[in-house]
Structure formats: structure tokens, C-alpha cells
């Protein structure tokens, strides 16, 4: 048989590459980072930051560049002074290479490449190297943007996250990902890049808006519903006090939620999401679409609450959870002050389908492979499904709409 088949392509059927021509490259890299829970990290007597920067290495002066979410800087006008005072006290250990850079806060920063370039330039101007630190203080959006920068400059600076929102402290700030929005999609670009360390300082949370206080609680419901029934029961019981801004209840929920996320990253066997499943993203296929459909008017946490409600209605119709469990989920979210309905949910595409349904394919495309959606399989356990019935999604949307008409707080 000739070397070329009739189609002009080499005919290599049955041929095998000799073993000697293959070099199989295998190695693994261990990642380790500490997540600390504290208060007033910049109090001069608090040596936590120094310990975090040294992390098992012999003490030396650490070069640190800091960027701060403008929203945080506005509500904590003495923060820059406190940082400088703290670094002055610890000047043998910490070199604050420049005055902290204030960067725009909120989702808009993840759409803004100019901020990325400006931050890269500021870091370059200070000649940071791969053993220097970028410390980012802010909400999940600023941490996603700054983490992206830290992962790219010199192919990876030491990145310390200091999340200042509930959602940042219990989810966005403690994991291994960063991201920017592009091409009309959330997190279209980004990298997997574990941080050097995370410091959850609860003393930032008091200045959060009610929306962002509650929005973070949605992620706690998310992880509890699919992983931890006891935590879910606790959340339902404490939803009303969380809404009333009880700090102790919120701190406990942050710790428990963060530890569940960390446990998943450490033990799921797929921290960098090579597979098609994203088990912790229960409720997220529609949440991400709702955010983009609303032009990011709906915040991530608020969208997640609505996405959880939608997929829980669906799960109940599929017999995965009982009607009683569904009611506890919806009521728990509402008691927390979270809306379960946004008008964008019933927006239609030109084909007449619900526009939110396009979120299924976008979710699949982001992960690759087969569509894999996580649903609760009774509260506290999860199941992965590969198809969602569009008629049942439509029915679930109508159910949420009807409920929102009856319950004033369920309507955004
Ligand atoms: N990388 C990940 O693994 C991951 C996981 C979950 C979510 N996220 C991302 O996180 C983002 C949402 O983050 P978020 O919910 O923290 O909101 P956010 O970062 O958008 O911040 C919300 C608002 O609160 C302000 N703010 C921040 N801290 C404050 C404080 N202490 N006091 C007063 N105002 C403050 C900000 O300036 C902003 O205006 C989304 O883009 C989401 O996709 C990332
Ligand atoms: Zn989320």
C-alpha cells in the first residue's frame, strides 16, 4: 500500500510509534498555602503578616507591593496610614516598596484591561521579582484581577490575598483561580494559580453594603446544600440573624464555608478542573448568565442565590429533593434577605427560548467535554447530571416568579 491514502493523508493505520521515540514526562508539584482568620491584621502588635510572608523560610526583609480596592479605601479612610504605620513597626521584616495603589472595585474591574496594565506597570516600576509579594486587599473582583496580574508578571509573583467581602472570605479569595471577563463571558480568561497565603480579616466586613453582606451567604448555602446537611440546618436556623448583621454568626458561616471549599480543593482530586465537572458550582450555570444578561447589575452573590433557587426547584421536580427540603432552601435564602427572582430570568432570545438557557452551553464550553451540572441529591449530597430539561427549567422559572409575587423580599 502506498504511503498516501487516496484522500492524500498518510495512511498510518496499524502503525505504532516505536517505544524508543517516546519520552514520557511526568512530574508533580505540591502546592501549600495557609488561610488565616483574624481581626485587625495591621494592628502594629499583630505579627501575623510577618509570619505569613516568612512562611517557613529564614527571616529576611520582604519586598511587598499592595493594591487596595477603592471601595475598601473609601470606607476605611485610615487604612493606608495604618498599613504604613504597621510596616514601619516591622521595617526590619517588611519593605513596603511604594505607597499602596488604589484600584477600582467591583465587577467592572474585571472588564477593564487598563487596570491590569497599570498594575503591571506599577509592579515593574518597583522591580518586584518572583520572591516579592503582591498583597491585594479587596472584594472577589479585585482579587480575581490582581491574582491574574500576579500570575503573569515574571510568570508568577508571590500573591497574598486579603479578602474584604463575605464572598471573598468564604469562597473567591481562598481558592486557586483568578479571572477577567472578556468576549461577553464571565471569567473567559484567567489562570489556575494558588496564592502564597490568604488572610481573612473579619474587621473589614462591618462596612459592607447589605447586598454584599448577604450575597456572600448565598455561597454558604450553595456548598452546604450539596456537601453538608448539618451546616445547611445551621444556616437555616441562623438566616434571620445573619440578615440582621450578626457578626459572630457571619464569622462562623464564613469559616465553615471556607473550610468546605478548601477541603474540596484538597481532596476532590481535580483542583485545576481538568475534568468536565465543577461540583462546587451548583446554581452557577444560570447565575453567571444572569450576571451577564443584567450587564452585571446583579452581583455574583445575588445571582448565585437565584441560581440555587432555580436548580433546587428543578431538583425537586426530578425527585432529587423533597418538597419540604425545597421549601427550607427557598425560605432560608429569603430569610437571609436574598431575592430569588430577577426579571432577566424570563428574558427571551429571538428563538423564543429563555435567554438564561444559553448559560448551559456557555458553562459547558468553559469547562470542556460533556455538559455536567451538579444538583443536590437530598440535602447534603450531590449528583452530576448531563442534561437539563428545558421545559422543566421554564417551569422552575415560572415557579420562582409566582413565589416572588407572593413574597415581597423574593422580588428584586
Ligand atoms: N476566583 C474564584 O475562585 C472566585 C470564586 C467565586 C467568585 N469569584 C468572583 O468574585 C467576584 C465577586 O466578588 P465579591 O462578591 O467579593 O464582590 P466585589 O469584589 O465585586 O465587591 C463588591 C463591592 O464591595 C466593595 N467592597 C469590597 N470590600 C468592601 C468592604 N469591606 N466595605 C465596603 N465595601 C467593600 C467593592 O469595592 C465593590 O464595590 C465575582 O467576579 C466572582 O466571579 C471568584
Ligand atoms: Zn460563586
Best probe residue, ligand 1, of 69, 203, 272, 363 (max atoms within 8 Å of C-beta): 69
Grid coordinates representing 327? Answer: 421549601
Q: 253 and 308 share a domain? A: yes
Residue with more model confidence, 305 or 2: 305
User: Does residue 175 have its Cβ closer than 6 Å to ligand 1?
Assistant: yes
- Average pLDDT of the residues of the chain: 93
Q: 74 and 95 share a domain? A: yes
Residue 25 lies in a domain: no
Which residue's CA lies nearest to atom 4 of ligand 1?
172
The per-residue pLDDT for range 183-227, each reduced to its tens digit, is: 988 899 999 999 999 999 999 999 999 999 999 999 999 999 999
With 90 as the cut, is the pLDDT of residue 19 above it? no
Q: 98 and 226 share a domain? A: no
Q: How many angstroms separate the alpha carbon of residue 348 from the centre of ligand 2?
A: 24
With 50 as the cut, is the pLDDT of residue 3 above it? no
Which residue's CA lies nearest to atom 19 of ligand 1?
139
Amino acid 57: pLDDT: 85
Q: 182 and 228 share a domain? A: no
User: Does residue 139 have its Cβ closer than 6 Å to ligand 1?
Assistant: yes
User: Does residue 69 have its Cβ closer than 6 Å to ligand 1?
Assistant: yes
Amino acid 10: pLDDT: 54
Amino acid 365: pLDDT: 87
Q: 119 and 186 share a domain? A: yes
User: Could you give the C-alpha distances from 150 to 112, 156, 246, in angstroms and in order?
Assistant: 16, 6, 35
Decide: 173 and 143 in contact? Cβ < 8 Å.
Answer: yes
User: Does residue 294 have its Cβ closer than 6 Å to ligand 1?
Assistant: no
User: Does residue 111 have its Cβ closer than 6 Å to ligand 1?
Assistant: no
CATH of the domain at 361: 1.20.1090.10
Residue 3 lies in a domain: no
User: Does residue 201 have its Cβ closer than 6 Å to ligand 1?
Assistant: no
Amino acid 409: pLDDT: 56
Best probe residue, ligand 1, of 74, 212, 260 (max atoms within 8 Å of C-beta): 212
Ligand 1 atom with least separation from CA of 69: 37
Which residue's CA lies nearest to atom 5 of ligand 1?
172
Confidence of residue 6 (pLDDT cuts 50, 70, 90): very low
Residue 251 lies in a domain: yes
The per-residue pLDDT for range 222-266, each reduced to its tens digit, is: 999 999 999 999 999 999 999 999 999 999 999 999 999 999 999
Q: How many angstroms separate the alpha carbon of residue 9 from the centre of ligand 2?
A: 47
Q: 227 and 350 share a domain? A: yes
Q: What is the mean pLDDT of residues 319-331?
A: 98
Q: 154 and 52 share a domain? A: yes
Best probe residue, ligand 1, of 74, 138, 140, 273 (max atoms within 8 Å of C-beta): 140
CATH of the domain at 99: 3.40.50.1970
Q: 219 and 305 share a domain? A: yes
Among the candidates 164, 190, 207, a domain finishes at 207
| Residues in a beta bridge with 384 | 374
Residue 9 lies in a domain: no
Q: 191 and 232 share a domain? A: no
Q: What is the mean pLDDT of residues 140-161?
A: 98
Q: 159 and 252 share a domain? A: no
Number of separate domains in the chain: 2
Ligand nearest to the CA of 148: 1
Q: What is the mean pLDDT of residues 134-153?
A: 98
Q: Which of 337, 352, 356, 350 is nearest to 396 (CA)?
A: 356
**Worst-scoring range by mean pLDDT, 16-25, 43-52, 164-173, 306-315?**
16-25
With 70 as the cut, is the pLDDT of residue 14 above it? no
Amino acid 247: pLDDT: 98
Q: How many angstroms separate the alpha carbon of residue 218 from the centre of ligand 1?
A: 13
Residue with more model confidence, 361 or 13: 361
Amino acid 8: pLDDT: 46
With 60 as the cut, is the pLDDT of residue 115 above it? yes
Among the candidates 168, 191, 207, a domain finishes at 207
Amino acid 366: pLDDT: 83
Amino acid 264: pLDDT: 93
Amino acid 303: pLDDT: 97
Amino acid 287: pLDDT: 97
Best probe residue, ligand 1, of 104, 141, 200 (max atoms within 8 Å of C-beta): 141
Amino acid 367: pLDDT: 83
Q: 97 and 199 share a domain? A: yes
Parent domain of 81: 34-207
With 70 as the cut, is the pLDDT of residue 110 above it? yes
Grid coordinates representing 224? Answer: 452546604
Q: 185 and 240 share a domain? A: no
User: Does residue 170 have its Cβ closer than 6 Å to ligand 1?
Assistant: no
Which residue's CA lies nearest to atom 41 of ligand 1?
141
User: Does residue 190 have its Cβ closer than 6 Å to ligand 1?
Assistant: no
User: Does residue 107 have its Cβ closer than 6 Å to ligand 1?
Assistant: yes
Grid coordinates representing 386? Answer: 448531563
- Give the percent of the chain with pLDDT over 70: 95
Q: What is the mean pLDDT of residues 301-314?
A: 98
**Worst-scoring range by mean pLDDT, 177-181, 270-274, 391-395?**
270-274
Which residue's CA lies nearest to atom 7 of ligand 1?
172
Amino acid 105: pLDDT: 97
User: Does residue 376 have its Cβ closer than 6 Å to ligand 1?
Assistant: no
Amino acid at each position: 500500500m502506498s504511503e498516501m491514502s487516496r484522500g492524500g493523508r498518510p495512511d498510518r493505520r496499524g502503525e505504532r510509534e516505536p517505544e524508543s521515540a517516546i519520552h514520557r514526562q511526568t512530574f508533580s508539584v505540591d502546592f501549600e498555602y495557609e488561610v488565616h482568620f483574624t481581626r485587625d491584621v495591621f494592628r502594629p502588635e499583630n505579627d501575623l503578616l510577618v509570619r505569613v510572608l516568612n512562611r517557613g523560610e529564614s527571616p529576611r526583609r520582604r519586598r511587598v507591593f499592595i493594591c487596595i480596592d477603592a471601595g475598601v479605601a473609601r470606607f476605611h479612610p485610615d487604612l493606608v496610614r495604618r498599613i504604613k504605620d504597621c510596616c514601619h513597626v516591622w521595617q526590619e521584616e517588611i519593605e513596603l516598596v511604594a505607597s499602596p495603589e488604589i484600584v477600582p472595585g467591583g465587577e467592572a474591574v474585571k472588564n477593564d484591561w487598563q487596570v491590569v496594565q497599570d498594575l503591571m506597570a506599577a509592579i515593574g516600576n518597583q522591580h518586584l521579582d518572583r520572591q516579592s509579594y503582591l498583597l491585594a486587599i479587596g472584594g472577589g473582583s479585585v482579587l480575581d484581577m490582581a491574582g491574574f496580574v500576579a500570575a503573569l508578571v515574571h510568570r508568577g509573583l508571590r500573591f497574598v490575598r486579603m479578602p474584604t467581602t463575605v464572598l471573598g472570605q468564604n469562597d473567591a479569595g481562598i481558592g486557586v483561580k483568578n479571572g477577567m471577563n472578556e468576549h461577553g463571558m464571565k471569567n473567559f480568561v484567567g489562570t489556575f494559580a494558588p496564592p502564597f497565603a490568604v488572610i481573612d480579616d473579619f474587621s473589614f466586613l462591618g462596612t459592607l453594603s447589605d447586598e454584599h453582606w448577604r450575597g456572600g451567604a448565598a455561597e454558604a448555602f450553595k456548598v452546604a446544600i450539596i456537601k453538608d446537611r448539618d451546616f445547611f440546618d445551621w444556616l437555616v436556623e441562623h438566616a434571620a440573624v445573619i440578615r440582621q448583621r450578626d457578626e459572630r454568626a457571619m464569622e462562623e458561616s464564613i469559616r465553615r464555608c471556607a473550610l468546605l471549599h478548601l477541603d474540596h480543593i484538597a481532596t476532590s482530586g481535580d483542583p485545576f478542573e481538568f475534568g468536565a465537572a465543577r461540583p462546587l458550582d451548583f446554581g452557577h450555570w444560570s447565575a453567571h448568565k444572569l450576571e451577564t444578561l443584567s450587564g452585571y447589575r446583579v452581583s455574583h452573590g445575588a445571582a448565585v442565590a437565584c441560581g440555587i433557587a432555580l436548580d433546587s426547584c428543578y431538583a425537586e421536580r426530578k425527585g432529587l429533593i423533597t418538597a419540604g427540603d425545597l421549601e427550607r432552601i427557598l425560605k432560608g435564602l429569603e430569610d437571609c434577605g436574598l431575592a430569588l427572582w430577577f426579571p432577566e430570568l424570563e428574558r427571551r432570545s429571538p428563538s423564543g427560548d429563555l435567554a438564561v438557557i444559553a448559560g448551559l452551553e456557555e458553562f459547558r464550553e468553559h469547562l470542556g467535554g460533556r455538559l455536567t451540572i451538579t444538583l443536590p441529591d437530598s440535602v447534603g449530597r450531590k449528583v452530576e447530571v448531563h442534561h437539563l430539561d428545558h421545559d422543566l427549567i421554564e417551569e422552575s422559572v415560572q415557579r420562582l416568579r409566582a413565589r416572588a409575587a407572593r413574597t415581597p423580599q423574593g422580588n428584586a
